[in-house]
Amino acid sequence: MGKKAGFPRHKSRDNYNSITYPQSGFKLIHKSKSTNKGILQLSKIGDIKTIISREITDGDIKTCTVKRNKIGQWYVDLTVEFPDAVKIPLEQIKEEEIIGVDVGINKLAVLSNGVEIENPKLIAKYEKGIKTLQTLLSKSKKHSYNRAKIRKKLAKKQLKLANTLKDSLHKASNQIVKSGNIIVFEDLNVQGMVQNHNLAKSISDGSWSKLMDMCDYKAENAGKYTQFVDPRDTSQLCSRCGAAVKKDLSIRIHSCNNCGLTIDRDLNAALNIRERYMRLAWNFVKMPVDAPTTAHSIEQAGAMKQEETSS
């Protein structure tokens, strides 16, 4: 009260890069199911031609957000509310549908069923070009046409990296979630691990946290389960006999002198992750060869073992 108004501030076109319509004020019209073209009707703006990446068949659209990225491309994000997925009953899950996943540097992920997912190492691939453009940008004259040109090239390169990385993670997480009904990961402290400067770039290149987050929500949507176990010594213990086989990161083959098992180091870790979950969470004990094994029967066997021990 009583204060004198100041001068109006300059409002750059880059100040605002998004607008959100909550609940109403928008409508998406899909012209034809055979094409991906449509019309987005926005209140006080009008009709906008739109390319629809996927048709929305289920769920209710709650909000609409129109965004502009760093290179001037416009996108529409629609928030859709879906009904909760029906969880697969645990008694119907078989032992072979429990999958252990070991995330790594050489391979993005190795599954306990033997499936390997390659690490595209995209950050290393784009790093040189991005560093060159960053150097040119730092040396260019401020507010010059050349600086704006370099900045746009850099933004394009960084956007290409982000989109390619996201695409590869979506493909990898889809493959992992489709492989089983209970997906087991190590409960890794990724933030702490990247403090190691020797491994930080490799861990960031794999985007382990994003991969596990994607698997988590995709499994939830599919009615499946994701679980996390203690990561200690999963790569050092033998998955067949449990003996400790010490090895550093340079040794990629697990070779046990106790039982003679020789397999890939990451596959051995994935098998240990799966076994650790089954032993600790399900009180797993080995079933007779001819007995049908499900997650429910594993739990029953564990309960019987505990009862015998207490007796």
Q: Where are the domains of the chain?
A: 18-81, 90-310
> What are the DSSP calls for 153-189, one per residue?
HHHHHHHHHHHHHHHHHHHHHHHHHHT-SEEEEE---
* Burial of 94 from C-beta contacts in 10 A (0-12 / 13-18 / 19+): middle
Q: For position 206, what pLDDT does the model report?
A: 62
Question: Whole-angstrom Cα distance, residue 234 to residue 185?
Answer: 11
- For residue 306, pLDDT over 50 is answered with no
Residues 288-296, mean pLDDT to the nearest whole number: 41
Q: For position 189, what pLDDT does the model report?
A: 81
- For residue 279, pLDDT over 60 is answered with yes
Q: How confident is the model at residue 289 (pLDDT cuts 50, 70, 90)?
A: very low
Q: For position 222, what pLDDT does the model report?
A: 92
Catalytic (active site) residue 102: yes
- For residue 79, pLDDT over 50 is answered with yes
Catalytic (active site) residue 233: no
Q: For position 202, what pLDDT does the model report?
A: 65
> What are the DSSP calls for 171-237, one per residue?
HHHHHHHHT-SEEEEE---HHHHTTSTTTHHHHHHHTHHHHHHHHHHHHHHTT-EEEEE--TTTTTB
Q: How confident is the model at residue 261 (pLDDT cuts 50, 70, 90)?
A: very high
Q: How confident is the model at residue 292 (pLDDT cuts 50, 70, 90)?
A: very low
Q: Pick the catalytic residue from 60, 77, 84, 102.
A: 102
- For residue 291, pLDDT over 50 is answered with no
- Exposed e or buried b per residue across 222-243, where buried means at least 16 C-beta atoms within 10 angstroms of its C-beta: eebbbbebebeebbbbbbbeee
Catalytic (active site) residue 186: yes
Q: Pick the catalytic residue from 58, 97, 186, 307.
A: 186
Per-residue pLDDT tens digits for 1-30: 567 778 888 877 777 889 999 988 999 888
Q: For position 167, what pLDDT does the model report?
A: 94
Residues 36-57, mean pLDDT to the nearest whole number: 88
Look up the pTM and report it.
0.79
- For residue 298, pLDDT over 50 is answered with no
Residues 86-115, mean pLDDT to the nearest whole number: 92
Residues 172-179, mean pLDDT to the nearest whole number: 96
Between 296 and 144, residue with greater pLDDT: 144
- For residue 43, pLDDT over 80 is answered with yes
Among the ranges given (184-188, 248-252, 284-288), the one the predictor scored with the smallest mean pLDDT: 284-288
- For residue 181, pLDDT over 70 is answered with yes
Structure-block tokens of residue 63: 């909000």
Q: What share of the chain is helix, strand, coil (3-state, %, to 5)?
A: 35, 25, 40
Q: How confident is the model at residue 149 (pLDDT cuts 50, 70, 90)?
A: very high
Q: Pick the catalytic residue from 91, 118, 266, 290.
A: 266
Q: For position 114, what pLDDT does the model report?
A: 94
Nearest to residue 100, comparing CAs of 113, 89, 90? 113
Mean pLDDT of the chain: 84
Q: For position 205, what pLDDT does the model report?
A: 62
